[in-house]
Structure 1
Amino acid sequence: MSLGEQLAPHLPFLRRYARALTGSQREGDAFVRRTLEMIVADPDGFPRDIDPRLGLYAALIDQWEAEREREEAAGHEDRLGRIAPRSRQALLLTAMEGFTAEDAGWLMHCERGEVEELAAEAFAEIERLARTEVLIIEDEPMIAMDLESLVRDLGHDVTDIAVTRDEAVASARTRRPGLVLADIRLADDSSGLDAVQDMLRDFTVPVIFITAFPERLLTGERPEPAFLITKPFQRSTVKAAIAQALFFGQATFAA
């Protein structure tokens, strides 16, 4: 099997990680493109003695750290403010991408204990986040209830639980939320994507999509989510995504 064939199944999830790091589809996908260009330019330099997914993430993270160092050297404090700190990287790698603390430590060039400390620090930051109002767009009652419970446990309020596109848009226009959690396929066969696009024509709001088929929304070929959670989800994954979305405070579809 060629190197390209080994890496291809992991690219959608690398895009998810890069978008969550940057808060932007455009910037995240650009990081992925540069990573792939680097691998293509020097395929012999790609490690063959480890899992291909691990090697792929390592290549992107090395680029990420190199960019951080360049920004620090150039004194670009404004840009550094948009770079996720290492604590959030540790949280995303473990809670969202599912790496073990050992593998995340290898990726971040630190020990397992430091990864665990960084992730704990990130969770502590979540507790200090400004509270906001959340609109949940989800037509499966049990999932909606679980999301509502999680959101309230984090200290946020829930403005509404909508099950169709029309309900979601009407609710958002009545009481503008500070965050949206949206399923893709809704009760009347309408689309959570369409509902969010309708909202974003009126105002800007961070959005996290929740879907059982993430690879369909991580192609890099069209406007796609910056924040995306896979069903079935872990509560820690939702917490990490909410923290990162509120950290950037951007709309899901970033130009």
Structure 2
Amino acid sequence: MSRSQLVAEHLPLLRRYARALTGNQASGDAYVGAMLEALLQDPALLDERHGPRAGLFRLFAQIWNSVALNDDSEVRSLPMPSERRLSAITPLPRQAFLLLSLEGFSEEEVAFVLHTDVGEIRQLADTAGREMAEEIATDVLIIEDETFIAMDLESLVKNLGHNVIGVARTHADAIALARTKKPGLILADIQLADGSSGLDAVNELLKTFEVPVVFITAYPERFLTGERPEPAFLISKPFQPAMVSAVASQALFFQRNSRNRTPNAAAS
């Protein structure tokens, strides 16, 4: 397999990670694009000691961490929203947490990606876990037509301290539940068994009120192309509890900070 084929194979999951890290498709994809430009200019930047995927994530981390948090001129060179400068949960712990929980890297691989050691990775992940645990519990709507998956998600969400306001199995059910109970978070399967779409239901709901959404799909590569508007927070089936916890926490994290910034934005 050629170098370009190896890179292309791992780009969808790198986009997923970048979007979860930044809280925004445009932001995440822009950082991935910057990494690809750097790699095209100097292919030797790809360190494959732990395999090509870890090497790509390592190079991405170098790009992400090289943009100084307070260097507005450098930040403005990429189409990044203000989420990049959030400090409520520090960037390095969040990176370690997502690399372990969302991407399934080993502690040794994460240490390689972030240019540190295993001991530091454990401390970083613990820090992120504690900070994310401080998220305010919210009401969750689950859009999922498969009974056992819906039951697993409901149990997991409750164990995370949230309240499940209902499980919708069709587009119509989702609209009805959301409009009457106003969830604080939605977990949505993209393709429902009756032929309706969780994605369509969410897009309809987002026209009337703002809510963070985590999409769940058996075919994540279809929604990680970077070629059109796509979900910022995406989980692939079959999923691990730690993955759901990590991505849901990220979605709530960015929603909370967006609300916290609103008064200041209005004042300015």
Shared topology, TM-score over 0.5?
Answer: yes
The amino acid of 2:139's aligned partner reads: E
Where in structure 1 do 4 or more consecutive aligned residues deviate above 4 Å? 73-79
Larger CA deviation: 128-137 vs 84-93 = 84-93
Distance 2:213 2:83 in 1: 24
Q: Judging changes above 3 Å, is the alpha-carbon distance between structure 1 residues 49 and 104 closer, same or farther for their aligned structure 2 residues? A: closer
Q: Does 1:126 align with 2:132?
A: yes
1:55 corresponds to: 55
Q: Does 1:141 align with 2:164?
A: no
Q: Judging changes above 3 Å, is the alpha-carbon distance between structure 1 residues 78 and 191 closer, same or farther for their aligned structure 2 residues? A: closer
2:213 corresponds to: 207
The amino acid of 2:176's aligned partner reads: A
Structure 2 counterpart of 1:234, from 220, 231, 240:
240
Q: Judging changes above 3 Å, is the alpha-carbon distance between structure 1 residues 36 and 130 closer, same or farther for their aligned structure 2 residues? A: same
TM superposition shift of 1:48: 4.7
Tell me, yes or no, if the aligned pair for 1:135 and 1:172 is still in contact at 8 Å.
Answer: yes
Listed one character per residue, the Cα deviations across residues 15-60 of structure 1 (whole Å, up to 9, x for unaligned) are 0000001000000000111110110111233335441111111111
Structure 1 residue ranges without an equivalent (≥5): 251-255
2:231 corresponds to: 225
Q: Provide the identity percentage.
A: 52
Distance 1:205 1:153 in 2: 21
1:27 corresponds to: 27
Distance 1:15 1:78 in 2: 17
TM superposition shift of 1:216: 0.6
Structure 2 residue ranges without an equivalent (≥5): 76-81, 257-268
Tell me, yes or no, if the aligned pair for 2:186 and 2:212 is still in contact at 8 Å.
Answer: yes
The amino acid of 2:162's aligned partner reads: H
TM superposition shift of 1:191: 0.7
Larger CA deviation: 37-46 vs 192-201 = 37-46
Listed one character per residue, the Cα deviations across residues 222-247 of structure 1 (whole Å, up to 9, x for unaligned) are 11110111111110110001111111
Q: Larger RCO: Structure 1 or Structure 2 (Cα < 8 Å, ≥ 6 residues apart)? A: 1
1:152 corresponds to: 158
Q: Does 1:86 align with 2:92?
A: yes
TM superposition shift of 1:127: 2.2
Please give the secondary structure, in 1, of the residue aligned with 2:142: strand
TM superposition shift of 1:84: 5.3
Distance 1:34 1:171 in 2: 41
Q: Judging changes above 3 Å, is the alpha-carbon distance between structure 1 residues 53 and 24 closer, same or farther for their aligned structure 2 residues? A: same
1:196 corresponds to: 202
1:178 corresponds to: 184
Distance 1:243 1:209 in 2: 13
Please give the secondary structure, in 2, of the residue aligned with 1:161: strand
Using the size of structure 1 for normalisation, the TM-score is 0.92
Please give the secondary structure, in 1, of the residue aligned with 2:70: helix
Q: Tell me the matched-pair count.
A: 248
